[in-house]
Amino acid sequence: MKSTRERRLKRLLSGFIIGLMFCLSVSNGQPQRQTLIPQRIVLNLTTTPSSSMAVTWRTEGEVKNPVVQVAPAGDWDGFQKGAVNGSATSEKFELDTRAIVYSHSSIMSGLKANTLYAYRVGGDSAWSEWNQFTTAKEGDAPFSFVFLGDPQYEVKDMISRVFREALLTAPTAKFWLFTGDLFDLPQYDRNWVEWFYATGFIHSIIPSIVAPGSHEYALKTKGVVRWDMFSPTWKAHFTFPQNGPKGLEGRVYYLDYQGVRFVVLDAQMGLKEQTEWLDKVLAANPNKWTVAAMHEPVFSIAKGRDEHNTRNAFMALFDKYSVDLVLTGHDHGYARSKSLKNGKVVGDQEQGTVYVVSVCGPRGYDHNPKYDYLMQKTGKEHQLFQVISFQEGKLIYKSYTVTGTLYDSFELQKDIKR
Ligand SMILES: [Fe+2]
């Protein structure tokens, strides 16, 4: 039997420990340092990739002074002395779980072209690790990038190996381009948890370009999915150029990378505004090559689908300005067209456009043969990634399966008269 004195002492001790734990977790009203450690660090290309780089990250606690530090990378830790601070903007964000987090965004500017930089993000004495990226060269220069169609399903379980194989196959790719449907329902943070599990450190060392997909508009309320509300989680995780049509900034945009103009379109909303904008963007294009990226294909390959609105909005402009390559997803299968103009196959010496549909996730959709006569290759039930290179006047396209097997390839030569 314990004495009354012993029981009282035990109660006092328990109270002291609980109080101590509370004081440690909330010191002077400040959040625990652990909650200020940056998570989900994402690099995005800007409109001036030879002199700037965008970065977005998240913290669980509120950071009073969010900062990016960047320095030319060195072979020893002394490079940190050359770091300059850049400020960041922060936004409070409520997750579907009702938890509050903070999204931070900054553009590292004033950088030298073709230079390896080290950077870290943080603030209030809590920092990320140092990561590295290389700025673009000025003007035309050879490079490669990775293109990925819809991930969408089973991101952690089934897409991780695609990303890892792509990284091993193209470790020097300058950026990764996604054509939307990163996952089924972006409003649920658990999907983003899977996304960052699958991508690991890739987003913090390789910048990305992302086109919005139909599922970036998918919002589930009371068990029903609505398709008309763009997910606020997009802006919380990405910082894209703001040069799109009014109201579509940050999800419709263009940028030039070493002699190639990349135009990112939103095939779900504001098609009329984008048509007018795209006409101007392509009319004033000084680059040798042009690549368009969007979610819905111009020529559908999934059963029951035919995207008239997308085709009517953009195909005539792709023809008018001889866009070289149109990269899309949505149909959860693979197709690569012959060189086309006005919906017809062009001759060997004519300038046309090659349309690609690809998918990196599982769960293929049934094939629709309607446009097979325009296609060079079609396929299904392969998880794929593409490595696209520009060198010596050529566009070199290679599609690989998740096992690293070459699945499709072609080259475009640029000496054809326009
Ligand atoms: Fe999809």
Distance 344 CA to ligand 1 centre (A): 27
What's the pLDDT score for residue 124?
Answer: 85
Q: Are 250 and 235 in contact (CB under 8 A)?
A: yes
Take residue 155 and report the two structure tokens written for it: 């991101």
Write phi, then psi, for 209 (nearest 5 degrees).
-125, 135
* Helix-strand-coil split of the chain, %, nearest 5: 25, 35, 40
Confidence of residue 15 (pLDDT cuts 50, 70, 90): low
Asked whether residue 1 carries a pLDDT value surpassing 80, the answer given is no
CA of 37 to the centre of ligand 1 (A): 33
Going by C-alpha positions, the residue among 145, 141, 199 that lies closest to residue 169 is 145
Strand partners, 405: none
Q: How far is the CA of 210 from the centre of ligand 1 (A)?
A: 14
**Per residue in 16-34, pLDDT tens?**
555 444 444 444 556 688 8
The model's pLDDT over 190-225, given as tens digits with 9 standing for 90+, comes to 999 999 999 999 999 999 999 999 999 988 888 888
Contact 368, 353 (CB under 8 A): no
**The pLDDT value given to residue 29:** 59
Ligand 1 centre from 145 Cα, in Å?
A: 21
Distance 171 CA to ligand 1 centre (A): 26
**Domain locations in the chain as residue ranges:** 33-134, 143-413
Q: Could you tell me which of 147, 138, 137, 140 has the C-alpha nearest to residue 292?
A: 147
What pLDDT score does 25 carry? Answer: 45
CA–centroid distance, residue 328 to ligand 1 (Å) = 10
- Asked if the model's pLDDT at residue 278 lies above 80, the reply is yes
For ligand 1, the distance from its centroid to the CA atom of residue 46, given in whole angstroms, is 26
Helix (DSSP H) and strand (DSSP E) numbers for the chain: 7, 26
What is the DSSP-derived secondary structure letter of residue 35? G
Span from the CA of 198 to the centroid of ligand 1 (angstroms) = 18
Q: Give the pLDDT score at 372.
A: 97
Q: What percentage of the chain reaches a pLDDT higher than 90?
A: 86
**Ligand 1 mean position, distance from CA 134 (Å):** 31
Cα–Cα distances (Å) from 269 to 97, 313, 346, 411, in that order, read 28, 11, 30, 33
Q: What's the rounded Cα separation, in Å, for the pair 219 and 221?
A: 6
- For residue 337, how far is its CA from the centre of ligand 1 (angstroms)? 20
Range with lowest mean pLDDT among 137-141, 238-242, 260-264, 413-417:
413-417
User: CB-based burial of residue 299 (10 Å sphere; 0-12 exposed, 13-18 middle, 19+ buried)?
Assistant: buried
Under CATH, which number does the domain 33-134 receive?
A: 2.60.40.380
Distance 215 CA to ligand 1 centre (A): 7
Ligand 1 centroid, distance to 227 Cα (angstroms): 13
Q: Which of 209, 213, 211, 418 is nearest to 323 (CA)?
A: 418
Q: How does pLDDT run across 46-75, given as a tens digit for each residue? A: 999 999 999 999 999 999 999 999 999 999
Higher-confidence residue of 22 and 360: namely: 360
Task: Check whether 416 has a pLDDT greater than 70.
Answer: no
Give the distance (Å) from ligand 1 centre to CA of residue 336.
18
- Residue-level pLDDT at 7: 66
- How large is the average pLDDT for residues 347-371? 94
Q: Are 396 and 265 in contact (CB under 8 A)?
A: no
Distance 338 CA to ligand 1 centre (A): 23
Q: Pick the residue with more confidence: 11 or 257? A: 257
Average pLDDT of the chain to the nearest whole number: 93
pLDDT at 363 over 60: yes
What is the model's pLDDT at position 14? Answer: 60
Residue 415 reports pLDDT greater than 80: no
Higher pLDDT: 48 or 416? It is 48
Band (298; pLDDT cuts 50, 70, 90): very high
Look at residue 181 in the predicted model and tell me its pLDDT: 96
Can you list the pairs that 134-139 forms with residues at least 24 positions away whose Cβ atoms lie under 8 Å? 134/174, 135/49, 135/50, 135/51, 135/52, 135/53, 135/111, 136/49, 136/50, 136/174, 136/257, 136/258, 137/50, 137/113, 137/258, 138/50, 138/113, 138/114, 139/258, 139/259
Rounded to an integer, what is the distance from CA 354 to the centroid of its chain? Answer: 22
pLDDT of residue 390: 98
What's the gap in Å between 41 CA and the centre of ligand 1?
A: 24
Q: Is residue 417 predicted with pLDDT exceeding 70?
A: no
pLDDT at 226: 87
pLDDT at residue 13, as a whole number: 61
Ligand 1 center to residue 329 CA distance, Å?
7
pLDDT above 90 for 163: yes
Closest C-alpha among 15, 14, 91, 82 to residue 56: 91
Taking a 5 Å cut-off on Cβ, the residues next to ion ligand 1 are: 150, 152, 181
* pLDDT tens track for 80-102: 999 999 999 999 999 999 999 99
Going along 60-202, which residue ranges are E strands?
67-72, 84-87, 89-94, 100-108, 116-123, 126-127, 131-134, 143-148, 176-178
244: tokens are 């799109």
pLDDT digits (tens, 9 = 90+) for 214-258: 999 988 888 888 888 899 999 999 999 999 999 999 999 999 999
**pLDDT level of residue 147 (50, 70, 90 thresholds):** very high
Assigned superfamily of 143-413: Metallo-dependent phosphatases (3.60.21.10)
The alpha carbon of 352 and the centre of ligand 1 are apart by a number of angstroms equal to 27
Predicted confidence at residue 30, as pLDDT, reads 65
